[in-house]
Chain A
Amino acid sequence: MTTMATNDTTTSSTITEGPRGWAPSVPTPEDPLKWGDNFPTAAARTLRNTQMRRNLGHATRTIRDKRAMRVAEMPDWEQLRLAGSAIKNRAMSHLPELLEQMEANVIARGGHVHWASTGEEACRIAHSIAALKGATEVVKVKSMVSQEIGLNEYFAERGINAWETDLAEMIVQLSEDMPSHIVVPAIHRNRSEVRAIFKARMEDAPEDLSDEPPVLTAAARAHLRKKFLSAKVAISGANMMIAESGTLVVVESEGNGRMCLTVPETLVSIVGIEKIVPTYQDFEVIAQLLPRSATGERMNPYTSLWTGVTPGDGPQEFHLILLDNGRSKVLADPIGRQALHCIRCGSCMNVCPVYEHVGGHAYQSVYPGPIGAILTPQLRGAFDHHDPAASLPFASSLCNACFDACPMRINIPDVLVELRHRAVEAQRGGIPSFWDVAMKAASVPMSKGSRMGMAGKVLPLARVMAGPGQRFVNLPWPATAWSATRDVPAPPGQTFRAWMAERDKTGSAPSGRGASGRGGACGCCGQGGK
């Protein structure tokens, strides 16, 4: 039994008992924010995982439909979205004051506040607290931020086991995988894979474990219960921080998070600075947007709010670690900063056709999908085209489904385009790429009608080249990428421009047949004109 996800990628292959029934997908990377290849390369790999594609297609379709149903019930959905976006706008423009207010309120209620500018710093603070308590294991509430900073690995290297208690996150951890989604981390697994993972990796898995969801959850519950009762320290993130009262909020659907937040003696919450809202009333708006967007629920089954410490009830020691890790840099960007409005509902992933096909691992970051494509490169400050993160803004067909789905009205497509622009600018001056040359060359004829007309002169030649089938099946690089799976029609023998000019010259009434030389005037158009 492996106890922790480690950097040892060979562990998975040492499991010998029978056919495994699941494949370990991604070994723990060095930088969870961005690892490995650029997007096209990683996507080409994940696209070949047919099991994952099936699992993912099924899951995203189900969540999509549920979300659509729950959103349709809300007559004021658009107003809520506008309110949500306004709240975050205001919060982001008063971020320093709000954070100080938060800090003062947490301290006033008996908590401790730490500021961490990097992930490493946050890990160090959290670890020193756990170590001081003599903990050898801690329980964790599912938290994106702790994944972003590689907290589990940091703890493991220093002899503390950090147990994920969210069911899906636990599946991912047991299988030494990386999450594939921010709300549904094990979205790429089906239940028979989950059964196989439990059988292979959960020391107290029952012998007769079936792949029925209730059986699987019961096994997980029994497994986790022991951890809750023995752990002295819990680590959490937060969905929101409310500045006016110093309150933190966690929403979840299993109650395992609440166990972590109430049973252990010490609670350490690591929260990104952008998670702040000014007032309780603001929380109310987001609490309506989040569950419907995330899983199509009217309300989260568990919403936990805690403020400092309460003697005799819950953790008696509370630490809040406020994490920057690149966020203030993003805040300084007038267009890209809206990425900080994200409430991590995962809605953009569930509607994204690119995500649906390639899955979360293709983005090679704990933040996949559309939001990952704008957040990851910004947090990393990666705009240079040599950085694999700079390929992420191009990982979208700009179909705009993410913008419509985002409860916070983050204009992801606009930010994607802006980041593409930055990637292009970052490489100017070097050896021009194919795209540099093509875009420059295309800009000339396309900006002038007279030159577009000249383009028409080469059409007949291209038509001859296309052959009698009138389609291209093999184009030179880089259009090969297109013609590998798609035919390209031969261009027409005459441009529209030329047809129009001929028509005006001959004064013939318009007809679709005009250009074919099969005669001009047709009766139906006699009444043309004003």
Chain B
Amino acid sequence: MRIALFATCIGDTMFPQAPMATVHLLERLGHEVVFPDSQGCCAQMHVNTGYFPEAIPLVKNHVKTFEPVLDGEWDAIVVPSGSCTGSLRHQQEMVAKAQGMPGMARRAALIAEHTFDLSELLVDLMGITDVGAYFPHRVTYHPTCHSLRIARVGDKPRRLLQAVEAIDLVDLPEAESCCGFGGTFSVKNHETSSAMLTDKMANVLSTKAEILTAGDYSCLMHIAGGLSRARAGVRAMHLAEILAGTRDEPWEAPTTTTRLGA
């Protein structure tokens, strides 16, 4: 397949290892990955903070950048982030409508139909749960709210992880509860956010996992930011990073990237 990658703004600038691993994985599976470089941000932060007019240029740019998918230029658009997938599916249409741009709302919705979270692309579109990965570590998986309840990726990431060779996958207690990030919520209501994070961290630590994974770097940044402060010795890795490596060819993020929570 020929797949367009939406790296997301946080993936592009803060955690390039997630889109890098996505490229690595998809190419390893024999697909072509294209990075349309006029891409920017999905507008989630602006919409969720209530800044609708400011969100519009972002939506416009996204629609313009990814519209070729409607002409069959690519087979799909992949996003290594559940919350951005959710935002593309739900909020772009909503905010364009709210700002009186029904045409753009429609186009955004059409593009969203071709847009998949990485786990959905692998499981639903390509029909694979075993990507041939090898990862001999104790790992716990946080499903993240937006992957679960907006993008609705269900148990696909878990199924992908379960198929990884040598992995010791342990259940995270109260996995489905929010880590307290919520974008600007974590700043505007930082005391509440920290209280929520404390519970999430306690649950992560109770698993004795050495690696915390998720399909979304923003939640990982939050939880691992807390774990790092506590010097808890749990590292965060994106789902794509775990799936990227094989026994013969372990995947390792470049040294220029920053590891979280170590």
Contact = CB atoms under 8 A, between A and B. Distances in A.
A353 B255 CA distance: 37
B258 A449 contact: no
A325 B88 CA distance: 38
B13 A479 contact: no
B242 to A, nearest CB: 12
A484 B194 contact: yes
Interface string B240-260: 000010101101111111111
A530 interface: yes
A344 to B, nearest CB: 23
Contacts of B41: 446-447, 452
A317 to B, nearest CB: 48
Interface in B108-165: 145-146, 149-150
B7 A443 contact: no
A512 B24 contact: yes
B191 A478 contact: no
A422 B46 CA distance: 13
A353 B196 contact: yes
Contacts of B98: 418, 421
B173 to A, nearest CB: 11
A387 to B, nearest CB: 15
B187 A515 contact: no
B28 A449 contact: no
Interface stretch (A146-154, A364-372, A400-408): A400-408
B254 A448 contact: no
Contacts of B20: 496, 499, 510, 512, 515
Contact of B226 (A358, A452, A473, A485): A485
A387 B47 CA distance: 22
Nearest to B1: A530
Given A397-B182, A397-B196, A512-B254, A482 B24 contact: no
A39 B58 CA distance: 30
A512 B252 contact: yes
Interface string A505-517: 0000111111110
B189 A514 contact: no
Interface string A451-490: 1110110010000000000110100001101101111111
A524 B28 contact: yes
B37 A497 contact: yes
B79 to A, nearest CB: 13
Interface string B1-31: 1100001010111111101110110011011
B70 interface: no
Contacts of A450: 38
B49 A354 contact: no
Interface in B79-118: 91, 94, 98
A432 B146 CA distance: 30
Say whether chain A's binding surface is mostly helix, strand, loop, or mixed: helix
B110 to A, nearest CB: 20
Nearest to A424: B50
B203 interface: no
Given A512-B253, A530-B32, A395 B12 contact: no
Interface string B53-64: 011011011000
B83 to A, nearest CB: 9
Contacts of A473: 229
Contact of B30 (A444, A453, A478, A527): A527
Interface residues of A, number: 88
B28 to A, nearest CB: 6
Contact of B39 (A53, A417, A449): A449
A214 B252 CA distance: 61
B169 interface: no
B178 interface: yes
Given A439-B51, A447-B60, A510-B23, A524 B194 contact: no
Contacts of B187: 478-479, 481-482
Contacts of A523: 249
B225 A489 contact: yes
Contacts of B246: 524
A489 B14 contact: yes
B54 A440 contact: yes
A421 B52 contact: yes
B231 to A, nearest CB: 10
B225 A447 contact: no
Contact of B38 (A449, A471, A513): A449
A445 interface: yes
B69 interface: no
Interface in B184-206: 184-197, 199
A396 B50 CA distance: 13
A392 B168 CA distance: 42
Interface stretch (A40-48, A204-212, A281-289): A40-48
A492 B32 contact: no
A141 B51 CA distance: 43
Contact of B192 (A47, A439, A447, A501): A47
A449 B40 contact: yes
Contact of B195 (A47, A484, A500, A509): A47
Contact of B177 (A353, A358, A404, A456): A353
Contacts of A258: none
A516 B182 contact: no
A492 B35 CA distance: 19
Contacts of A311: none
B40 A421 contact: no
B207 interface: no
Q: Count chain B CB atoms within 10 A of each CB in A456, A496, A501 and give the residue with the most.
A: A496
A396 B185 contact: yes
Closest 7 CB pairs of A and B: A397-B182, A420-B50, A493-B256, A486-B225, A496-B16, A481-B190, A399-B178
26 contacts: A43-B192, A47-B192, A357-B199, A394-B185, A395-B189, A397-B185, A398-B48, A399-B177, A424-B52, A439-B46, A442-B54, A443-B51, A443-B58, A446-B40, A449-B37, A452-B12, A456-B13, A470-B259, A482-B186, A482-B225, A485-B197, A486-B226, A496-B7, A510-B27, A512-B244, A528-B27
Interface of B: 1-2, 7, 9, 11-17, 19-21, 23-24, 27-28, 30-32, 35-41, 43, 45-52, 54-55, 57-58, 60-61, 65, 91, 94, 98, 145-146, 149-150, 176-178, 180-197, 199, 221-222, 224-226, 228-229, 244, 246, 248-249, 251-260
Interface of A: 39-40, 43-44, 47, 53, 353-354, 357-358, 394-401, 403-404, 414, 417-425, 435, 439-440, 442-453, 455-456, 459, 470-471, 473, 478-479, 481-482, 484-497, 499-501, 509-516, 522-525, 527-530
Given A418-B98, A482-B225, 14 more contacts: A40-B188, A47-B191, A358-B192, A394-B185, A395-B189, A395-B192, A397-B145, A452-B13, A481-B190, A491-B258, A494-B16, A494-B254, A495-B12, A512-B254
